[in-house]
Structure 1
Amino acid sequence: MDLQTAEQKISEVRTLLNQYGYEYYVLDKPSVPDAEYDRLMQELLELEEKFPQLKTPDSPSVRVGGEVLDVFEKVEHRTPMLSLGNAFNEQDLRDFDRRTRQAVGDDFSYVCELKIDGLAVSLRYEDGLFIQGATRGDGTIGEDITANLRTIKSIPLRLTEPVSLEVRGEAFMPKRSFEALNEARKERGEELFANPRNAAAGSLRQLDTKMAASRRLDIFLYGIGNPGDLGVVSHSEGLDYLDKLGFKTNKERRKCVKIDEVIDYVNGWVEKRPHLPYEIDGIVIKIDSLEQQAALGTTAKSPRWAIAYKFPAEEVVTTLKDIELSVGRTGVITPTAILEPVKVAGTTVQRASLHNEDLIREKDIKIGDKVVIKKAGDIIPEVVNVLADQRTGEEVDFHMPTHCPECESELVRLEGEVALRCINPKCPAQIREGLIHFVSRDAMNIDGLGEKVISQLFAEKLISDVADIYKLSYDQLIALERMGDKSVSNLLKAIEASKENSLEKLLFGLGIRHVGAKAAKTLAQEFGTMERLASASKEDLIAINEIGDKMADSIVSFFEQEEATELLQELASFGVNMEFKGVRKVSAEESNSIFAGKTVVLTGKLERLSRNEAKEKIETLGGNVAGSVSKKTHLVIAGEDAGSKLTKAQELGIKVWDEEKLLEELNK
């Protein structure tokens, strides 16, 4: 067979395989027997082996896997993948409805979707071709798992239209695949996966793509990263557009106008949940209109226009064998129930947090009690209540200690707090937990420095603060148990690489009280350097959206400490970066732009810029981009099909520009 004939034959076979695959994996309506699909796939593999120059990234053969990866690269999401706020009962849903009505009025509708229990992923397409897929990660940075995602047969490698877009979905393992996988692992004497979610996550983080392909994963797509750029005006329209492009979306979704309809939908799926061929752990409720979504905006962690109703957790009875105490990095003493191992919501539970002494007293918990356990939100094990009528008289009361179990310092209860706290700054438990936090994924993300290695280094007195991590040598590390030459070399490279992290990673890693990962990113964007942040006043801090009094006080107090100043100087001397590496929000004082200090609202579809690009450019010039028009708005940028925001701006007499005028000012 010559090259031209092979090219034509390969094209014919690929067309058929793509058609049959779409019918089987997306539409669930196969038109040919499995044997015919397998025969065609084998024919394609043989042709591509004979003519490797004809193999393309969108060939159905890539779904077989076979590529072995060295490592997963980091990927920055173009639009952050925010987590959702949770609702656990009907009242939470009604409160969400009330807040929404207060913000946008009564004229809106909801879209309800099943919350698939899997792994959130982002897929990027350029000109209709699948080019990259990534995990959610921390919402901003994920891991490139493109090769493994290509093995999921319901992910289109080429779309029906040559569009460029980023879409979000939930990769999952169907119940049937999960059962087959665990059966095979059992026969080989391997550890079983606890639930389909863990199995799906483990499969997509396989370095051997052939292994990922064998796991038979599936996916439902649930959103577009920047739907406004595609002329889409509602979430439901976006889902319909995904269907048109060849994506697999979940058809059980429903549009609802009243919150009572939403509650009926939720209650219906509480009953029908066990009969699905895949696991769900709740219902996602979203405001349908994208314009109203923009008006509602987001908090540092989650959108205000969506909420996840979490199904009631499975409850089981077991014995509370003991209560252990742990000291956290802020000195809080946390009691933990040690349980007779029991399976809850698909995983084996042996420990459950008891939070604090007040909870133990309130629930009258004794060592030896029969207790009811559930997983809050199907994730965190907790003790629901005690079965007091099953007591034998051999149960033992528990009393919190008066002194720290690690350093023997007297414990205190600060005003307004229920927790007992060790306030000794030299408490070894707090130092150790602070070190573990510093190297964690959302902080400095030093691979190879897990909890066990940190504890070992701390016990050997090789590290006593975070700066000591950057003093570690090959000779010190190679002497540790279970540390070989390759492990030590990789760890030293990871430590060195962490010096290049952007400022927000270091800020979060320092463990400043009340400063989470999102707040750290906000602070880094606002101030740009550690030096500017360290000299900021409380007034400077609370002027920033999302920074409240408590957090501002905590930040000021941290930088006032002489020890903090010395630590930062030492870290800087080792070459640890102290600057923000993203696009910084410039303050009005720093900018002489027309946008400086102005509140700008974007509405309608822009032709030459995406909304995100426009927002970024305005903020780099000292402007503030808001989601809704008010009397405080200085300027509205109106693209095509601008709606109610443009009308309101005209009614209020607010200046309105088109995209050409915006670009003219941005390019000055």
Structure 2
Amino acid sequence: MTDTAAVSAFEKLDVEALTSEQAETELERLANAIAKHDKLYHQDDAPAISDADYDALRRRNTAIEARFPDLVRDDSPSRNVGAAPSEAFSKIEHKVPMLSLDNAFNDEDVQDFVGRVRRFLKFDPLMGALAVTAEPKIDGLSLSLRYEAGALVYAATRGDGTTGENVTANAKTISDIPQKLSGDAPDVVEIRGEVYMAHADFQVLNQRMEANGGKVFANPRNAAAGSLRQLKSEITASRPLKFFAYAWGDMSALPADTQMGMVEQMKVWGFQINPLMKRCETVEELLAVYHGIEEDRATLGYDIDGVVYKVDRLDLQQRLGFVSRSPRWAIAHKFPAEKAYTILNEIDIQVGRTGALTPVAKLEPVTVGGVVVSNATLHNEDYIKGIGQDGEPIRGGKDLRPGDTVQVQRAGDVIPQIVDVDLSKRKEGAEPFEFPSVCPRCGSHAVREENPKTGRLDAVRRCTGALICPAQATERLKHFVSRNAFDIEGFGDKQVDAFFADGLVKTAADIFTLEERDKQSLTKLRNREGWGTVSAKNLFEAINAKRNIDLHRLIFGLGIRHVGEGNAKLLARAYGSWQAFYDAMVKAHDKNGEAWEDLNAIDGIGHIVAEALTEFFAEEHNREQLDALLAQISPKQVEQIDSSGSPVAGKTVVFTGALERMTRDEAKAMAERLGAKVSGSVSKKTDLLVAGPGAGSKLKKAQGLQIEVITEDVWFDLVGA
């Protein structure tokens, strides 16, 4: 046995590249891994990997054994089915083994299957059609039911294919399983089928389990298996299990000579059979059934994971026989493991903590990759339309409308997404989805920002009602009290969530009225769980200590998009006081006046930040909340740098071109130390332009406005540096 690192390396090697020694090691690893997952799936009803990953393990094992037939192990997965029955149940030996099916994963595999059957039988096309049945592959728990003289004698799970678990008492609680067969029946009848749970029943069961503090099931298959394998039959009886019959084992006589005829006879005896089962005569018909069922999968009301094909004539099945653990005359055509078709019921708009309006697809629940999927991301409004701002189709985008049949993909832990839409199934008169221009939570404008460099709109539409939008409220409150904003000691995320949920703090202003309201309340903060007299007193003192706050902390604490701590300091320094800042932001909303030009002229404040600021202050709801907040606090004015005697104090300076004696940041810091305001653009308010080599448009604009222009050397002479 080689070390773990080597095993890991072999695991990634192509089968054709394996040496005999490496192949032996890989077969041991695969045997152990598959046995482990068989137990988790069949015995514990708790699969740890997806069907696709499990199938990949088996395919690799089969490929290695085909290349190295002398290395096939006694415990090879190719010789075993399922897992050993649990010791919790008595055992029943199957008179006829319950084998599994080989898998087909694409249309070519199905063509190969039919071709192999024809070649084995030497089936001459002149003999007529080779009929094959097609039926949905139910994703549940296999069960064998033995009847003698028409009465149910026992019920057994598949187990390891040879011996199963005795679940007779539990099976008798399932209404779809008759206790006594109807009509005439042979002395011995062994019916095989699948125990499953409908989607609607699964949802109700999980809701009930959650309400009672129990563990919820990941998917209907796990729920069905766990319910059937209960040690107390009364628990099974309380679970809404169903049963589809589709095969047989030991029979004292066969009432029909075809697969289709046998299944139809099961219906006569009182069993539920799948109404979608069809008899086909060509590969094209089989594939049409497969793709039709695949697209209608979400409307069935129960989980399936593929379509099973079986040669219809029983005499041909007899001739074909079995190979290893599966019959030659049948195959399971699996659906893509991480994809499924379902119905897009509606498009819901969710508002995130930054105000982003995110469209979410509300889907008819469907199991994908072992998980029930009912929601999928739709990214943004252009993705839903399928058309970009230039009118061209966008990559991945679809024209999606409520009611559409869509294909959903889920890979690993990736959020499910819609990857295709079947337009042939779109209902007549289906209207395109209209993305809202106002926030669905607070009614504020929802806008798409424009990138000034590209002229393109941001893909995401955002709510501008930051301070009053309930969807953003808790996260913004957490930001407001965070370390780099108000930094209120003892007022963290936990307190924000608790106070918001109880209605004590809904807005920033509520924080500063909390103590006064607490005095008048019958339910004091000190009496709340986790609080006491001292802790409540400390919190109120910490809040009061922040009533006189630095201007940049207040600006940053507002949580305006694109305004980080650095930008907040730039804005505070540029305007000096809250009132000056507030008035300027309100005036700048027209994006055409002096206030707008001044805002954009602040070095480090670009067009995108300016847009975010003016949109925020243009919203009346935000201004109302700010007024309420400013009634409780007093922002400090920015201390002016003592620049007495400085020749550039109070002047607005712009640096342009290549500076040779200092970096741009050094030049900016120097000017600010000397009491100057540094701007990033030239306007009529600019007093001085320092131009280095390569100066371009800023120099031309300054000359046109007759602004004083000096070189870098003259700047140093001017400031005496």
Pairwise TM-score range, normalised by the shorter structure: 0.3 to 0.5
Structure label with greater radius of gyration: 2
**TM-score, normalised on structure 2?**
0.35
- Structure of higher RCO (CA pairs closer than 8 Å, 6+ residues apart): 1
